[in-house]
Amino acid sequence: MKIFISGASGLVGSNCLKHFTEQGVEAIGTYFSYALPGIFPFNTLDINDANNFDVKAFAPNIIVHCGAMTHVDACETAVQESYNKTVQSTIHLIALAKELNAKLVYLSTDYVFDGKHGPYSEEDAVHPLSIYAKHKLEAEQAVLQANTNNLVLRITNVYGKEARNKNFVSRIIEQCQNKQELTLNLPQDQYATPVNAWDVARAMYVLLKDNQSGVFHIASTDWMNRVELATTVLKYFPEAKYSMKGILTKDLNQPADRPLLGGLLKTKFSNLYPDFMFSNVDDFVKDALQ
């Protein structure tokens, strides 16, 4: 395998780059806007940008696309920007993958579902509620239609080690370790399946090694709401000072609709790989404290 990763300075992309490299794979990581040492610039909105890493010379047989506009509420008003960063960037990489005869891996989300009957399997009907979700679905469908060998991984509530520590779980850990007082007003009616980005990278590697294709849901053992998620982390910090209030999503007055009973069932993956062990939020916090 020879792998090119777009969005390698983000949470999932950086974990993929690290894991693939540790497995002895020749992998190159690139960034769109946030630079990190050891990764290269690549503008997915302009494949011919003079500053782009020369992916054609690298000639990967796998392209992993981790980039997208992820600010769900901002997508509601910045519709064109959302389309460009999520759909158009994917279309550009589809064309590049075709030119290089490479497999394309796309990272999608449980937001492609409406959240009425989750957690969801790969066979469940999609029904996106927000601009962000509609664009994610449009991009994943384009990937699947372009080549039957392409791979789509749906994930949600991803946490883990990353340079910017932007994810919800890592932020709480960092704030507790820095003895900051937390004020948490969290939706108690939004359920999901939090997953460690390291497990996403590990699962992706297994699927790529076996040349799997189509749609796979990647999730851990937890299915919980945001209050339960925060509580799971905070129980390891008995000295932490915080106020936490569970509220209904409708009372947050967010521009974008959320799937409430969301989350993903990993049955398809686990049936293929019954020995693959996922970690959970407790494991991650314990590891962070060591």
CATH number of the structural domain 166-191+224-262+282-289: 3.90.25.10
Per-residue confidence (pLDDT) for residue 34, from 0 to 100: 85
pLDDT value at residue 63: 98
Structure confidence by residue, pLDDT tens digits, 150-178: 999 999 999 999 988 889 999 999 999 99
CB-CB neighbours of 283 under 10 Å:
14
CATH fold, domain 2-158+194-217, is Rossmann fold (3.40.50)
Three-state secondary structure of the chain = CEEEEECCCCHHHHHHHHHHHHCCCEEEEEECCCCCCCCEECCCCCCCCCCCCCHHHHCCCEEEECCCCCCHHHHHHCHHHHHHHHHHHHHHHHHHHHHHCCEEEEEEEHHHCCCCCCCECCCCCCCCCCHHHHHHHHHHHHHHHHCCCCEEEEECCEECCCCCCCCHHHHHHHHHHCCCCEEEEEECCCEECCEEHHHHHHHHHHHHHCCCCEEEECCCCCCEEHHHHHHHHHCCCCCCCEEEEEECHHHHCCCCCCCCECCECCHHHHHHCCCCCCCCHHHHHHHHHC
Mark the ranges of the chain whose per-residue pLDDT is less than 70: none
pLDDT for the residue numbered 165: 83
Nearest-5° angle of CA 73, CA 159, CA 93? 65
pTM for this model (two decimals): 0.95
Please report, for the chain, the start and end positions of each structural domain, with discontinuous segments joined by +. Answer: 2-158+194-217, 166-191+224-262+282-289
- What's the confidence (pLDDT) of residue 164? 86
Instruction: Give 49-95 pLDDT, tens digit per residue.
Output: 999 999 999 999 999 999 888 999 999 999 999 999 999 999 999 99
- pLDDT value at position 28? 96
Question: How far is Cα of residue 234 from the mean position of the Cα atoms in its chain?
Answer: 23
Measured CA to CA, the distance from residue 171 to residue 182 in angstroms comes to: 10
Q: Rounded CA gap, 21 and 82, in Å? A: 31
Same fold, 2-158+194-217 and 166-191+224-262+282-289: no
